[in-house]
Amino acid sequence: MKVCIAEKPSVAKDIAGVIGASQRKDGYFEGNGYQVTWTFGHFCTLKEPHDYTDRWKSWRLEDLPMIPPSFGIKLIDNAGALKQFGVIEKLVQQCEEVINCGDAGQEGELIQRWVLLKAKCSVPVKRLWISSLTEQAIREGFQKLTDSGQYDNLYAAGSARAIGDWLLGMNATRLFTKKFGQGKVVLSIGRVQTPTLALIVQRQKEINAFVSEDYWELKTIYRETEFTATIDRIKNAEKANKGLAYLLQYEFEVTAFERKEGKEGNPRLFDLTSLQVEANRKYAYSAEDTLKHVQNLYEKKFVTYPRVDTTYLSEDLHPKVEGILRNLTEYASLTASILEKPILKSKVVFDDKKVTDHHAIIPTGVTPNHLSQEERHIYDLIARRFIAAFYPECKVSNTTVLGKVGQVEFKATGKQILEPGWRAVYANEARSKKEAAEEIVLPDFTVGETGPHEPRVHQGKTTPPKAYTEASLLRAMETAGKQVEDEEMRELLKDNGIGRPSTRANIIETLLKRRYIEKKKKNVFATQTGMDLIDTIQNELLKSAELTGNWERKLRLIEKGEYGMETFKQELIQMVIDLTNEVKSNQYRVISIEQEAQVQNEEKPKKEPKAREPKEPRSRESKEEVPIESLTCPKCKSHLLRRGKTAYGCPDFQNCGFKIPFEFLGKKLSDKNVFDLLSKGKTAKIKGLQIPGNPETIDARLVMNGDFNFEVG
């Protein structure tokens, strides 16, 4: 008997139907020499710290770093999973061969290997590797079963990823929580989560620090065409008005005219990230929701495997493309013109060297039915992108006109679509403001012609950097924070992205759940909690998108057999040891790790059960001089110290004299009050201040004056 193990009951049912295992049993199907069973995703997980030793049950600095001598796995604590694992274990012990039918990707390989390891599988294992769940794909997959050993590197990469996340997440979270959390809040640190948060915080700081400025530009209308002066923006109105007066003295003269035909290349097929980006841009779907909808479409056999990071098709798919296009009957009006000729085998679409585990996401050709509105939207995006890939390129005419008024030079540009090509697939869709602004048809001009014009002054304001949307955040994660518009360049940077396409949505949701970020309409912002956490982390390695991208590159090299799993693991172990020693010896203390209850305008999160942590002995550091969060004395710029039990002050107190008392006007100052005084020069309103000589308390702000003293403001 051969045992097939799928990742979901629905997939097991599809496989059983194709290979003739038609008898339903308790936890599996049987027939035709096969038994087909299933998991529910992750049945096993890496052991937790307390599984290795009781000492690691409590969170104590002295126990860090936690480096197990070897990493073990355990079954998750779930009654349904335990029961189903019992079925798998029994079948595996009695069979002659196992066929791994898990999701054909790194995570799917890891899930299945851990289950087989836990079930003590000792028989040969084959691998089913398919890109869609259609009957034809499953049948062809069973005809091409390969030895499981061919995917050992994929399993090694999955194991290295899981162990790396455990080493850094478990150790760094405890390390920063115990060192800086002050017993009030858990500071969650992650290999991918933290650099992603750092990107958002950096953008948030740029927005917060931005000061809008007025500017003026000289413009003029000549022959119903608007021209803009090519000089730098003018910083004051008086100078702009002088410029306008100058322009009124001269006629407009055309100095150059160029109309050049060009082509706009077809949009790439979708990988998961680009699909999530487009769905967020067009429908405001979150990355997680898009992944859920496309996964449903895959399991319903309407699209191919979605957790992919390539925008290319394998060359052996070329003969099948025509049939898929013909089966897209509801798009017949769009496919008719390209089916009149043979489908070209273009390197822009078909390239084996650019395909990794799977090819790009495309329709299977199975006619979709019973779709939700969201699934219909996602399917339409995929189908149209697939069709557009085989259309002719879009031909355009780009026009540039240069002119001058006196000595001031002007420029106007326009674009005209000559032949829509692939744009015809999207003819009925609303154009973006940017696209509409670019498509301006300019008249013909003759070099040397002159004439009257209508100059004017345009006043504008500089705008702050744009907040991240999920779409732009996904792109930033894909390119390790680099601003890249060119698709070819993005393709080259994918190996160094933060996280994998299949995990990025979960990372964003984790940051939202932990209230480090929040969404306002389509925009993503860092909360004060998230900003405080990033400011607390002095070690740049934990926050670096580029370095995290380098880890991702090494994980991909492990997949290819070009880098050792043990080498990667030892590098991370050494990093965790170095990080732990650095933070333990670092005497900086955080002033303002905001608790979730203090974050303004946030809903209270649902409480989740958590293990009670034993109380730790009171720290003996309270009498020592301890630098806090690297904030500096506003007077002499030295790091502030906690001086005994009365005040913060600078190291050279005798000469400088600056201090902030722990208590002022009868009120104990919170860390937030101190932080605001040092960073903003004033606090929020404090209730119950006792003014000497006044029997009644008042509510007021504290303000740092020009003499670096504090007064009621």
Q: Which sequence positions are flagged as catalytic?
A: 305
Is residue 196 within 8 Å of 190, Cβ to Cβ? Answer: no
Question: With 0-12 CB in 10 A as exposed, 13-18 as middle and 19+ as buried, what is 504?
Answer: buried
Angular region, 225: left φ>0, alpha ψ -120 to 50, beta rest: beta
CA distance 460 to 301: 52
Alpha helices in 248-362 (DSSP H): 272-283, 287-299, 318-327, 332-335
Maximal C-alpha separation, the chain: 97
- End-to-end Cα, the chain, rounded Å: 83
Q: Please provide the DSSP assignment of 519-586 as one string.
A: EETTEEEE-HHHHHHHHH---HHHH-HHHHHHHHHHHHHHHTTSS-HHHHHHHHHHHHHHHHHHHHH-
The Cβ of residue 456 has, within 10 Å, a number of other Cβ atoms equal to 13
Backbone angles phi, psi at 230, to 5 degrees: -90, 5
| Placement of tokens 């590098």 in the chain | 571
Query: What is the gyration radius of the CA atoms in the chain, in angstroms?
Result: 32
Contact between 188 and 442 under an 8 Å Cβ cutoff? The reply is: no
SS3 335: helix
Question: Contact at 8 Å (CB) between 410 and 293?
Answer: no
User: Cα(82)–Cα(61) distance, rounded to whole angstroms?
Assistant: 35
